[in-house]
Amino acid sequence: SQKIEQNSEALNIQEGKTATLTCNYTNYSPAYLQWYRQDPGRGPVFLLLIRENEKEKRKERLKVTFDTTLKQSLFHITASQPADSATYLCAPNDYKLSFGAGTTVTVRA
């Protein structure tokens, strides 16, 4: 069965540093991989989608990579700010989304 793993439950970093989150998946080969942000008590918000033929994608201070050989995506938040504190979810598919457990990022001022 499909399995999605995000590297750690929590990540605490200093403001201005880069946060790097990992998403690994097994037993399938998605054509797309999406990242979402979820704040407490709210629904997820779409951040980025990367296709299998794209190695890297950027949006403002966010960068996502997609390695279909390793079955892994890395999600980077550069120049992190306290407002980036949230839980980040990966979804390696494009329909009937299945999510990883998420990584909660806390950025200290």
**How far is it, in rounded angstroms, from Cα 26 to Cα 58?**
25
- Secondary structure (3-state) at 103: strand
Nearest approach, Cβ of residue 16 and another protein (Å)? 28
Number of residues that bind another protein (CB under 8 A): 20
The stretch near another protein (CB under 8 A) out of 21-29, 61-69, 73-81, 99-107 is 99-107
User: What is the distance, to the nearest Å, from the Cα of residue 13 to the centroid of all Cα atoms in its chain?
Assistant: 16
The stretch near another protein (CB under 8 A) out of 18-26, 66-74, 78-86, 92-100 is 92-100
The answer to whether residue 101 forms part of the interface with another protein (CB under 8 A) is: yes
Length of the chain: 109
**How far is it, in rounded angstroms, from Cα 29 to Cα 35?**
16
Q: DSSP readout, 5-18?
A: EES-SEEEEETTSP
Nearest approach, Cβ of residue 14 and another protein (Å)? 24
Helices (H), 19-106: none
The stretch near another protein (CB under 8 A) out of 21-29, 31-39, 68-76, 77-85 is 31-39
Report the interface residues with another protein, using CB under 8 A. 32, 34, 36, 41-47, 49, 89, 94, 96-102
